Amino acid sequence: MIMLRYLLQKEFRQLFRDKAILAMMFIMPTAQLIIIPLAMNFDVKNINISVVDLDHSSLAQKLITKIGSSGYFRYVNASASYKEGLQSIEKEEADLIMEIPAGFERNLIRVGSQKISLSVDAINGTRASLGAGYLTAILADFNQQIRVNMNGNTTSPGPRIGVTSSNWFNPSAEYKYYIVPGVLVLLLTMIGGFLSALNIVKEKESGTIEQINVTPIKKWQFILGKLIPFWIMAMIVFSLGLLVTRVVYGIHPAGNLGVLYLFASVYLVALLGFGLLISTYSENQLQAMFVAFFFMMIFMLMSGLFTSLESMPSWARTIAALTPITHFIKVVRMIMLKGSGLSDIKTELGYEIIFAIVLNTWAIWNYKKTT
């Protein structure tokens, strides 16, 4: 333990001498946590729509007014023909074209039905699908209002099933409650993963690794001495991130903070062990940085932060389950939004313990100490 203590003193002194690393560890993730969630707004609004009204009736005007008052659409122009409306899409001025045909009101009253043409710019798939979905829902509600007004009562001709939905754990369905915990985990992963991956390689490039190798320091002491300082710093960064989520976004963890810190501590042991493993295989910092970037991209894209894990193919879900960040993002959301306890996350905690043991044991085994 005396050897480990001296090694930790050396690591902390070396860490605090490098002001750039301290700025990267504390200032950069804090600023990114404030900015990134504001840009990653999943609420699609201000969808540009071009209306081709060939009927000019009172019902057509009511429909146009209803769409504009929904808060999701913004009228860019009132085209005289479909061809003119299509030009607005080609110029990227509009996302949707709604064509109201001539005889719209007459057919609704006399025939009881009338088709409306919707043309969607599908270059941006998410914006197109959501825009079309919003507009379809508005048209369905408008259609129901017409039936009520024509019948003079709210009684439909046949039996109906009423459906009432509610959002649990995020009643207002605000994106920030879903995305901010995931971004916090992602930033913590990138900072801890990159810095730990460059640690041992930096000793190799500076030549101090040769001096360490001829000392009686054991391999496990060396890896542990490299891991503990970054683990402490990462826990401080995690605490700052939780403070930012509370002060800036007003997100208060619904669960126990002790359980959250317990899981975070185990996750960081696994993550830093993975970074040190990369460092033992790399010969220089550039090589370590590119290898770490390769794995961090996979972790980020397959973690469930941007896309649902259930929508992935089976082979992708298998890979996602083998990454520590997937389980951490899931648990952070469970604890902060759902209020889950230790019994609810014990399976994910078991996975992280296995990751921590395997990755750190591998790093210790792969570290070549020559005397």
More confident residue, 41 or 284: 284
Residue 310, φ and ψ in degrees, nearest 5? -70, -20
Yes or no: say if 189 and 293 are a contact pair by the CB < 8 Å rule: no
> How high does pLDDT run on average in the chain?
86
Q: What average pLDDT score do residues 196-201 get?
A: 86
Place of tokens 């889950």: 340
Whether residues 63 and 209 share a domain: the answer is: no
Give the count of domains, the chain.
2
- pLDDT at residue 154, rounded to an integer: 46
Tell me, yes or no, whether 161 lies in a domain. Answer: no
The residue out of 151, 184, 219 marking a domain boundary is 151
Q: What average pLDDT score do residues 337-350 get?
A: 93
Instruction: Provide the angle, in degrees to the nearest 10, between the axes of the packed helices 19-39 and 219-247.
Output: 40
Whether residues 185 and 284 share a domain: the answer is: yes
- pLDDT at residue 160, rounded to an integer: 60
Query: Cβ neighbours of residue 170 under 8 Å, at least 6 residues apart?
Result: 177, 178, 337
Return the sign of the alpha-carbon dihedral for residues 247, 248, 254, 257.
negative
Whether residues 201 and 313 share a domain: the answer is: yes
* Distance in angstroms (rounded) separating the CA atoms of residues 340 and 213: 46
Tell me, yes or no, whether 156 lies in a domain. Answer: no
Q: Report which residue type is found at 95.
A: D
> In this predicted model, what pLDDT tens digit does every residue of 204-217 receive, in sequence order?
887 777 777 777 78
Report which of 24, 352, 40 is spatially closest to residue 181, judged by C-alpha positions.
40
Whether residues 276 and 129 share a domain: the answer is: no
Q: What average pLDDT score do residues 130-153 get?
A: 79
Whether residues 254 and 307 share a domain: the answer is: yes
CATH of the domain at 91: 3.40.1710.10
Query: Cβ neighbours of residue 202 under 8 Å, at least 6 residues apart?
Result: 285
| Range with lowest mean pLDDT among 2-6, 163-167, 350-354 | 163-167
Whether residues 230 and 319 share a domain: the answer is: yes
> In this predicted model, what pLDDT tens digit does every residue of 61-113 receive, in sequence order?
998 999 888 888 888 888 888 888 888 888 888 888 999 999 888 888 888 78
Instruction: Kindly calculate the radius of gyration of the chain based on its CA atoms and give it in whole angstroms.
Output: 29
The token pair at 65 is: 């007014």
Whether residues 66 and 14 share a domain: the answer is: no
Whether residues 56 and 141 share a domain: the answer is: yes
Model confidence at 370: pLDDT above 70: no
- Three-state DSSP at 313 gives coil
What's the domain range around 263? 2-40+174-366
Whether residues 206 and 342 share a domain: the answer is: yes
Whether residues 27 and 105 share a domain: the answer is: no
Whether residues 188 and 144 share a domain: the answer is: no
The token pair at 58 is: 């009172």
This prediction has a pTM of: 0.80
Tell me, yes or no, whether 144 lies in a domain. Answer: yes
Task: Give the CA distances from residue 224 to residues 106, 114, 145, 353, in Å, rounded to whole numbers and listed in that order.
Answer: 80, 72, 69, 16
Whether residues 181 and 303 share a domain: the answer is: yes
Tell me, yes or no, whether 371 lies in a domain. Answer: no
Q: What average pLDDT score do residues 252-271 get?
A: 93
Tell me, yes or no, whether 287 lies in a domain. Answer: yes
